[in-house]
């Protein structure tokens, strides 16, 4: 990527604030193009009216527009508030063109500029709000033309009617086509957004239990580890395995086994209530969980809550010494220290697995916290 290309990309995307996959990417791109275009137009016409036409009012109007647009350009880069900048640009377009209509009713060119507002309205404010602004501007243009051709520069009645019909019909056609286009675009984006959400759910969710799947666990674990280290949080990883589950399946059959897995998933979901808490089915009868705590003791407390709550469900299990379904849990706590930060995510998974195996070897139905040998 050359220097000019890179500079342009940084300007129109606000230093990569949005990627091309984001539904608002094109809107951000075009808003920045419009900001740049408005800056160029206002600074050019400021000089034209200052040094050539001598129309002080229009010079002042363009100068104000330039300063306001420059401020909005800077504000967008500081706040990333796309909607507020869109509202500002719409106000500039509406107010600027409305003022131009008032000053230049004596020029037929004013109606060409009037037509330019409608794309601004629909693109910046969408189908509904943009439609209101477009309608208001349409009424303003037709009313201005009526005043101009009846009071300021009177014309014969037939000419007046023909002129008003031409202006109103052509502007209405432009407005209608833009409304239809914006409606089609908005519906397409909405359908794409729904499809994207559905694909994300399908790709990250276990169909049987409704928990996140192993693929999502692999994706999110490194991210959560990095966040925990950055924010100084204690990240807890649980590896959970149903005890004697093969024997359970052999005795009751797979349909009943599926119900048992759903019960475990429900217990985990009830225990992991915060939006930041994540529960996974890693495969077969193995589950996982990622959550943060403030104190190390809280990590085991939640794991014990999952274990005892499942025990209270009293799901019959013939092989278990208690006669009911239980789980063994391995717990690995990541505290962001130098020792743990040098480990990879998969080292931590391996260590949580080691804690799980110790829980199994010590008699099952227990929580074991990983400690180095």
**Which residue among the candidates 285, 286, 311, 373 is catalytic per the annotation?**
285
Task: Give me the phi and psi of 233, to 5 degrees please.
Answer: -90, 160
* Nearest partner of 29 among 92, 89, 82, 87, judged by Cα: 82
- Do residues 2 and 10 touch, judged by C-beta distance below 8 A? no
d(CA 69, CA 79): 15
β-partners of residue 280 are 212, 288
- Do residues 244 and 319 touch, judged by C-beta distance below 8 A? yes
Match 């599926």 to its residue by tokens.
258
d(CA 359, CA 368): 6
Q: How many angstroms separate the first and last alpha carbons of the chain?
A: 52
* Nearest partner of 85 among 48, 36, 42, 40, judged by Cα: 36
Six-digit token string for 175: 């407005």
β-partners of residue 293 are 234
Six-digit token string for 130: 């943009």
* Nearest partner of 234 among 373, 369, 366, 346, judged by Cα: 369
327-334 sheet: strands from edge to edge: 278-283, 286-293, 234-242, 327-334, 367-369
Q: Is 233 assigned a catalytic role?
A: no
- Do residues 289 and 277 touch, judged by C-beta distance below 8 A? yes
The Cβ of residue 167 has, within 10 Å, a number of other Cβ atoms equal to 20
Q: Quote the crossing angle between the two packed helices 82-103 and 56-79, to the nearest 10°.
A: 170
Six-digit token string for 181: 């286009």
User: Which residues are known catalytic residues?
Assistant: 285
């Amino acid at each position: 990527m050359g220097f000019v290309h890179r500079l342009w990309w940084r300007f129109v995307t606000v230093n990569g604030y949005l990627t091309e996959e984001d539904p608002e990417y094109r809107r951000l791109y075009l808003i920045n193009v419009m900001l740049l275009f408005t800056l160029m137009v206002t600074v050019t016409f400021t000089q034209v009216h200052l040094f050539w036409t001598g129309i002080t009012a229009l010079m002042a109007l363009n100068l104000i527009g330039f300063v306001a647009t420059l401020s909005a350009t800077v504000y967008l880069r500081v706040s990333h508030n796309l909607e507020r900048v869109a509202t500002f640009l719409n106000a500039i377009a509406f107010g600027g063109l409305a003022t131009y209509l008032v000053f230049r009713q004596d020029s037929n060119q004013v109606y060409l500029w009037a037509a330019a507002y409608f794309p601004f309205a629909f693109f910046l404010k969408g189908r509904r709000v943009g439609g209101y602004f477009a309608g208001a501007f349409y009424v303003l243009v037709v009313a201005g033309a009526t005043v101009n051709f009846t009071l300021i520069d009177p014309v014969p009645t037939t000419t007046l009617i023909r002129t008003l019909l031409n202006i109103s019909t052509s502007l209405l056609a432009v407005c209608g086509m833009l409304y239809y286009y914006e409606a089609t675009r908005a519906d397409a984006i909405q359908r794409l957004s729904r499809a994207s959400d559905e694909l994300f759910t399908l790709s990250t969710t276990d169909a049987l239990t409704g928990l996140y799947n192993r693929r999502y666990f692999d994706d999110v674990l490194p991210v959560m580890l990095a966040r925990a280290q950055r924010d100084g949080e204690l990240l807890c990883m649980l590896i959970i395995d149903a005890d004697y589950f093969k024997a359970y399946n052999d005795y009751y059959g797979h349909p009943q086994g599926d119900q048992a897995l759903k019960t475990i998933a429900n217990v985990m979901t009830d225990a992991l209530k915060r939006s930041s808490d994540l529960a996974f089915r890693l495969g077969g009868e193995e589950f996982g969980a990622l959550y943060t705590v403030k104190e190390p003791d809280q990590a085991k407390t939640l794991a014990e809550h999952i274990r005892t709550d499942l025990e209270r469900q009293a799901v019959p299990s013939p092989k278990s010494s208690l006669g009911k379904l239980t789980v063994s849990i391995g717990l690995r706590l990541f505290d962001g220290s130098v020792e743990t930060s040098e480990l990879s995510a998969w080292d931590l998974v391996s260590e949580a697995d080691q804690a799980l195996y110790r829980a199994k070897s010590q008699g099952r139905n227990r929580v074991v916290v990983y400690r180095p040998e």
